[in-house]
Structure formats: C-alpha cells, structure tokens
C-alpha cells in the first residue's frame, strides 16, 4: 500500500515558535505534500501527530483545526491522523476529531494481509491519558491494555506483515525525553511477532533512522521547522 506521510506540522496562526518553527507556513506545506501524494498515486494519508499547536488566542484553536482538517480531506484520500503531545495539550480527543473531521484511527487496518497498526503513546507512566493544559511531553507511556492489543493485532493469523505508527519514539533515543517509557516492552512484542518491517515515528524534529534486530525505525523530520518542507511517500 502506497501512503503519503508527514509529522509535526504544528499548524497555527503563529509565524514563529521556539525560534525555528514556522507554524503558519505549514498550511502551504501540507497543500504541497498533498499534491505530491496525489501525483504519486498514494492510497492514504498518515499524519504522525502534532498536527496542531496553540494559536496566539487559544479560542482560535478549533477554527484553525477545522481549517487544517478541511485542507487534508480535500485530497479525497483516507486519513489516519494520530495525536501528539501538542494536539493533546490544546484539545481533548473528542474535540480534536470532531473539529478536524477525521475519524479517530482504528487500532489496526489490514490491507492484503498486511496490518497498519496505530499506537497512542499519549499517556502518563501511571496509565492516565493526557489532559488539555496538563501535558508533560517527557512522560509518554503505552498502557498495558494497548500493549496487549498490539500483540493480538500482530498475532492475527491472517496477517503476514505489519507496519507500526506512533508519535513518540520506540527506538531508544539518546535523549530519553522523546521515548515511550516502556519502549523496551513494546519493542519486545514487535520483535516477537516476526512480522513488523518498519516503525514510523515523529516527535523528534531532527528526524532519525535506526535498525534494531532487523526492524527499521524511521523518525520523520518535522514539517514545521524552517521554510523547507518534509514529507515522504512510501510503501507500507
């Protein structure tokens, strides 16, 4: 399955954020990415989290998310949009998906016996979901129930191959603030299945690539950084 993918667009009406981020430029960058996806024949759009960031006036967050959602849906492709820490900090899950017009991603999608598995690391170490206005981005965790779901999805006898998607990092970044706290446990489940070829991640704006025990961990560079664009079209 050919997909178009991007991460960390941080869309908002702010011109500059954290010195290097250009959130207001991300709308044009997304439009350019969608054109490239369509031209390449992509069958879906995958967004790896931190679609949005806080506006100058927080009351405008919903308006800007509605604008962004309409832009992405205009491509006419299925959209699988994960939430990142910035998305969680400004809106609840229900409000985020209502305003964007996206369906919350199913845990897994199986196409031609290959599973696309979407994980949500937006939980604290005690298993509580992130709450707007109270997010500590350095505290990311995959709850026990979700680890079990991952094992079940990969253990499906109808599935012969799989790709995993998550916002935070599972590959043991040297800067541990970006890691899912129980990433060792999650990787053990992924490796035990013998079916996962790649894990796609966001969150770490510089991007990265690793291979651990035969599995590729691909961290997409952030779309929001500087004036350049960042996205990929790839088979999954």
For 173-185, what is each residue's pLDDT tens digit? 999 999 999 999 9
Over residues 95-140, the pLDDT tens digits come to 999 999 998 887 899 999 999 999 999 999 999 999 999 999 999 9
Residue 62 structure tokens: 């919903």
Taking alpha carbons only, the member of 46, 11, 39, 45 closest to residue 27 is: 11
pLDDT of 43 over the 80 cut: yes
Percent of the chain whose predicted confidence (pLDDT) is above 70: 100
Give 228's contacts (C-beta < 8 A, 6+ positions apart). none
Confidence grade of residue 72 (pLDDT, cut at 50, 70, 90): very high
pTM of the model: 0.96
Confidence grade of residue 17 (pLDDT, cut at 50, 70, 90): confident
Looking at residue 196, the DSSP 8-state letter turns out to be E
Helices and strands counted in the chain (H then E): 6, 10
For the ranges 70-84, 100-114, 196-210, which has the lowest average pLDDT?
A: 100-114
Task: Give me the pLDDT at residue 18, please.
Answer: 87
Looking at every residue in the chain, the average pLDDT score rounds to: 96
Domains of the chain: residue spans and CATH? 2-235 (3.60.21.10)
Three-class DSSP category at 17: strand
- Cβ neighbours, 10 Å, residue 155: 12
Task: Give me the pLDDT at residue 114, please.
Answer: 95
**Mean pLDDT to the nearest integer, 137-166:** 96
CA-angle at 80, arms to 132 and 53, nearest 5°: 35
**Mean pLDDT to the nearest integer, 186-213:** 97
Classify residue 67 as exposed, middle or buried by CB count within 10 Å of its CB (0-12, 13-18, 19+).
Answer: middle
Task: Give me the pLDDT at residue 106, please.
Answer: 76
CB 86 within 8 A of CB 10: yes
Residue 111 structure tokens: 């196409």
Three-class DSSP category at 134: coil
Give 152's contacts (C-beta < 8 A, 6+ positions apart). none
> Whose structure tokens read 């990092």?
169
Confidence grade of residue 236 (pLDDT, cut at 50, 70, 90): very high
């Amino acid at each position: 399955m050919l997909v178009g993918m991007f991460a960390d667009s941080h869309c908002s009406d702010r011109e500059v954020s954290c010195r290097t981020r250009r959130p207001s430029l991300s709308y044009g960058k997304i439009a350019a990415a969608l054109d490239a996806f369509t031209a390449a024949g992509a069958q879906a759009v995958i967004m790896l989290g931190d679609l949005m960031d806080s506006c100058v006036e927080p009351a405008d967050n919903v308006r800007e998310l509605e604008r962004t959602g309409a832009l992405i849906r205009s491509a006419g492709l299925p959209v699988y949009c994960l939430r990142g820490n910035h998305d969680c900090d400004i809106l609840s899950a229900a409000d985020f998906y209502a305003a964007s017009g996206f369906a919350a991603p199913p845990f897994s999608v199986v196409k031609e016996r290959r599973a696309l598995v979407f994980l949500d690391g937006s939980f604290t170490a005690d298993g509580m979901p992130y709450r707007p206005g109270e997010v500590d981005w350095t505290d990311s965790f995959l709850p026990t129930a979700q680890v079990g779901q991952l094992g079940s999805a990969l253990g499906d006898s109808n599935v012969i191959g799989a790709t995993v998607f998550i916002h935070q990092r599972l590959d043991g970044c040297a800067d541990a603030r970006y890691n899912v706290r129980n990433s060792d446990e999650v990787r053990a489940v992924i490796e035990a299945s013998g079916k996962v070829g790649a894990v796609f991640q966001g969150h770490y704006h510089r991007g990265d690539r690793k291979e651990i025990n035969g599995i590729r961990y691909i961290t997409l560079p952030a779309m929001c950084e500087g004036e350049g664009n960042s996205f990929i079209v790839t088979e999954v």
